[in-house]
Structure 1
Amino acid sequence: MTLMDKESARAHFRQRRAALDAAARKAAADGLADNVLAALPELEVAPGSTVAAYLSVGSELSTAQLLPALVRAGYDVVVPICEPDYQLSWARWYEGVPLARSPRAWVDEPVGERFDHAIMSRVPLILAPGLAIDAAGNRLGQGGGYYDRFLGSLAAAPNRPLTVGAVYRHELVPAGSFESTDLDIPLDGAVTDEALTWFGNQASGRTV
């Protein structure tokens, strides 16, 4: 794959997602849930911990199986809320939580108490959505900028959570497949329906 600018890459990966049928999407969602749940003990993310995930929409790699599986396994789950100035807050997700359409993005969000950035001090793992991730950990987002700013804000945190992007297996691509800039904060890893892969320093000693 040759280097694509971000807009061309977004169009490419959106087109490939649109071509996936319902069976393929369901299988990928099942695999995502299995791989995340299997990895948590080795990552020393114990039940009772809070995991930051995302409430999938459209053709995103679905968390419809993952989120309830995390709750049943004893984890607290928080998902993002789009706030003004492209900032994120967080709200608890549980089965049956009331949802409302965000006024700022094409996503549904839980109705209820919102938590600011400080909640990340007790979150050991963040599962972030993306359109693609390359082997250097660069994440291609939808272009809204919410996660770019959020991940950037974590870069200097003393106890920064592990950051793992969730993508379909064909969206984990070689380094240099799409444009990245100095403002893009590399992820620690990527999880697909096939495996959990670590990048850079996180790859050392990781066998998940």
Structure 2
Amino acid sequence: MSRLREGAERPVEHDGRAAEPDKRTLRRGFLAVRNGLPEDVVRAAADALARHALDLPELADARTVAAYVSVGGEPGTLALLDALRARGVRVLLPALLPDNDLDWGEYTGPGSLARIRHGGKMALFEPAGERLGPAAVTGADVVLLPGLAVDARGMRLGRGGGSYDRVLARLERAGAGPALVVLLYDAEVVDRVPAQAHDRPVHAVVTPSGVRRFTGA
């Protein structure tokens, strides 16, 4: 069993039945494993993930992509962002607002990033230039989503801050229909994660070993 799956094992109830794990427990397990990944593993995963993502037809045809800059043990995204820019794609990156909503700015290269720490949270790399407003994401052809896991239905487990729940709700209200793609490690594609009524499935997951599509999105 892989280390990532060990961190996300289901608890067992006293009668022997598998209990549905809560999101907080799952998040702790996935984050603990990510935090222990060697740097060379993270680098190799980032290169492989970028290669597979760039083969997606949705990204090949995209004019605007909303993405993010990976931090810590997240699957790396910078190589992918630079490759998209080299194709002439407009890349939007999020900036965290005080209420956990996301504003957006354009990525024009590593020099356009600022390292921002929001209170006691992990420092994030955000666009240093003009802010375009939270609604800017509705013009994206593809939205690349961070996450900790995705299940066989395409349901994504996020970090719990609610920022991307707001993004997805904003897209729905605007009638926008971008391709939703989550970037993960291979073992973070699992059988099932807890989902609530407001959760929405993604269209695809890209991992270092390839792409998996979902029909429920």
Measured against the shorter chain, the TM-score band is 0.7 to 0.9
Corresponding residue SS for 1:155:
helix
Matched, 1:46 2:61: yes
Shift of 1:111: 1.1
What is the rounded CA distance, in whole Å, between the counterparts of 1:185 and 1:86 in structure 2? 19
Report if aligned partners of 1:18, 1:59 keep a CA contact under 8 Å in 2: yes
Structure 1 vs Structure 2: percent identity of aligned residues?
36
Partners of 2:181 and 2:59 lie apart in 1 by 15
Structure 2: segments with no counterpart, 5+ residues:
1-8, 11-19
Aligned pairs for 1:31-42 within 5 A: 31-39=48-56, 42=57
1:198 aligned partner, one-letter code = R
- Structure 2 match to 1:84: 98
C-alpha distance in structure 1 between counterparts of 2:139 and 2:166, whole Å: 19
Q: 1:30 aligns with which of 39, 47, 67?
A: 47
Question: Highest Rg: 1 or 2?
Answer: 2
- Using the TM superposition, name which of 83-92 and 103-112 deviates more: 103-112
Does the alignment pair 1:72 with 2:86? yes
Counterpart CA distance in 2 for 1:200 and 1:157 is 22
Letter in 1 for 2:68: Y
- Measure, in 2, the Cα distance between the counterparts of 1:19 and 1:103: 24
**Could you give the per-residue CA deviations for residues 74-110 of structure 1, whole angstroms, max 9, x where no partner exists?**
2111111111322111111122214131436521212
What is the TM-score normalised by the length of structure 2? Answer: 0.83
The answer to whether the 8 Å contact 1:13/1:131 transfers is yes
**Over residues 121-146 of structure 1, what are the superposed CA-to-partner deviations in whole Å (9 max), with x where a residue is unaligned?**
43110001001111111111111111
Q: Which amino acid aligns with 1:137?
A: G
CA distance in 1 between partners of 2:59 and 2:147 (Å) = 25
Aligned residue pairs total 197
Q: Secondary structure at the match of 2:24?
A: helix
How far off its partner does 1:165 sit? 0.8
Secondary structure of residue in 1 paired with 2:126: strand
Give the deviation of 1:44 after TM superposition.
6.7
1:116 and 2:133 are equivalent in the alignment:
yes
Q: Using the TM superposition, give the Cα deviation of residue 158 of structure 1 relative to its aligned residue in structure 2, in angstroms.
A: 2.5
1:80–1:87 CA distance, 2 compared to 1 (3 A): same
RMSD: 1.9
Q: Are residue 180 (structure 1) and residue 195 (structure 2) matched? A: yes
Give structure 1 stretches of 5+ with no counterpart.
203-208
* Highest RCO, 1 vs 2 (Cα 8 Å, sep ≥ 6): 1
